[in-house]
Structure formats: structure tokens, C-alpha cells
Chain A
């Protein structure tokens, strides 16, 4: 069975806190999670990479601004530029924006409050490697927990890069156009503020996050077969 398990790297920065939840969820959904320390200059053979949530480098200066220059992020940037699948969750989304792998930037919530609760989000694009198990227009219940999740979009962002929106009336942080997650133009890099890894078991409130992570595992498995 081992050869059907895609290898998905989870990058661990100083201050990451959701790396283990992400690894556990990916493992439960059929992948082999590989922890990658932020000081690593090269990635092992991987079929996808996840940048987990947390407060890398203490969120100093701006969220993600320091993490983006870590050795592992240079390797992740190369991986993404070669078409590798990269998912950034919360702080991982912030890092991808700072690194220029995703458009836009995440700013302090307009309420200035740290928000930790379940929110309803709507899948805008079901034709990405990260949302293929969802249907366009499907509503998912996934928790957010962040102080800086207010998405500021660049003026030229095409509508088709908006993959996930907060459901009407559910925007928790003041994000422009209710944006909760965006993909890059090539479609291989996805960042979102909600935490799918905290919603993979209905026992804990919602299993909807598993749709996103299982989509990633499916896509990574296709990469594995192509690599073999």
C-alpha cells in the first residue's frame, strides 16, 4: 500500500503551531506526512507541500515577512515554480503572499480582535487541485483563528483566482470581496485563512475541511503516479 501514499511535506517554522494537526489530518486522509524543518535548504522528494498555521518568527514586522526568507521557503518557491502543489493555511497563506507566490496581502482584522470560531465559506472554484472534491457553490463549515486575516487584493486580481469566499454575512475579518482563499494563476498554489486541518472529523464540529485536504491528497497521488 505504501506506494499509493503521496508524500506531503509540512514545513515547520519556529512558531508554527498547526504543523502536527496538518500532518495528522494528511496521514488520516491517506498521505505520508513528512516534516520539513525551516532550516532545510533542499526538500526531500515530495508530491506536495503544506505551510501550516501558527506565528512563524513571532509574526514580527509583518505576518510571514521573515519566514519567506527561510532556507526552506527558497526550496518551496523553486518547488512551486516547477509546478509543485503548495497549500498555505492561515500563517502559511500569509507567508505565500509575502513571498509573492500568491497575490495580495493579509492585514489586521478590521475589528482588531483575534477571531476564533467556525465560519461558513463558499467554494468558488471546484476545478483546482485543492478543491476538486467540492462542488462549485458548496458551503463548508471550517474554523478560522487569526488576528490578521483581512485580505487586501491587488487591483488586477482575476476573478478566477478567487477560490474561496466567506458565505454572505460570514466575513469575520473585513476581507475585501469576502475573500477567504486564492489560487495563483497557474493553479498549483493555494492559500486560505480557514483551517481545514481542524475540521476533518465531525466529532470535533465539522468534517468539511477533509474535502479540501483530501482533494490535495488526491492531486498529490496523481503526481506520485506520474513520478513513478
Chain B
């Protein structure tokens, strides 16, 4: 089963990378109100069901993939799409 995990800096957490991207886009003439930079993690997991896969990936996020102090995460299962 394939899944995509999106890890983002939490709202209110300073994101210097996002700010650099935002100012670069402005310099290129684009109108941008805000930019934030996160990460995408593509996973392929063996699970009996989508709900089991989601529960397993949530554990992965809590233990390793995201730092809950500064990051939020979203899980998208391929079946959801």
C-alpha cells in the first residue's frame, strides 16, 4: 500500500527556508502572500487494510518522521485519492 506523508513546520514556527523561497519568488515578479517549506515522504507499507496502514504510519510519524514540537503531519493513502 502506498502512502504520502506531508511534514510541515507548525503554524507560528519560524520557517527561514519558507521566507527565503517567498522573497525569491517576489524578486522573480510573482505575487506571493506566504510560502512555507515542508517535506514529502513517499512510503510503501504492507498492511491488512487502509485503516491499519494509517494507524501504523501515524506511529511512524510520532516516533520518527515528524518532531511534534515544531512539525505537523498529514497522511494520504493512495486508496484515498
| A residues lining the B interface (CB < 8 Å) | 61-62, 65-66, 69, 98, 104-105, 107-112, 150, 152, 154, 174
Residues 12-56 of B at the A interface (beta carbon under 8 Å):
13-14, 16-17, 20
- A174 & B14 in contact (Cβ 8 Å cutoff): yes
Asked whether any CB of chain A lies closer than 8 Å to the CB of B1, the reply is no
Proximity string of chain B (62-81) to chain A, C-beta cutoff 8 Å, 1 when within and 0 when not: 00110101100000000000
For A152, list chain B residues within 8 Å (CB).
Answer: 13-14, 69-70
Bound-state CA distance A108–B69 (Å) is: 15
Known contacts A105-B70, A154-B69: does B14 contact A110 (CB below 8 Å)? yes
- B67 & A65 in contact (Cβ 8 Å cutoff): yes
Known contacts A105-B70, A152-B69, A154-B69: does B16 contact A111 (CB below 8 Å)? yes
For A69, list chain B residues within 8 Å (CB).
Answer: 64
Bound-state CA distance A152–B69 (Å) is: 9
Bound-state CA distance A150–B15 (Å) is: 11
Minimum distance in angstroms from B5 CB to a CB of chain A: 11
Known contacts A110-B14, A112-B16, A112-B20: does B64 contact A65 (CB below 8 Å)? yes
- A108 & B67 in contact (Cβ 8 Å cutoff): no
Minimum distance in angstroms from A150 CB to a CB of chain B: 8
25 interchain pairs, CB-CB under 8 A = A61-B65, A62-B67, A65-B64, A66-B64, A104-B69, A105-B69, A105-B70, A107-B13, A107-B14, A107-B70, A108-B16, A108-B17, A109-B16, A110-B14, A110-B16, A111-B16, A112-B16, A112-B17, A112-B20, A150-B14, A152-B13, A152-B69, A154-B69, A174-B14, A174-B16
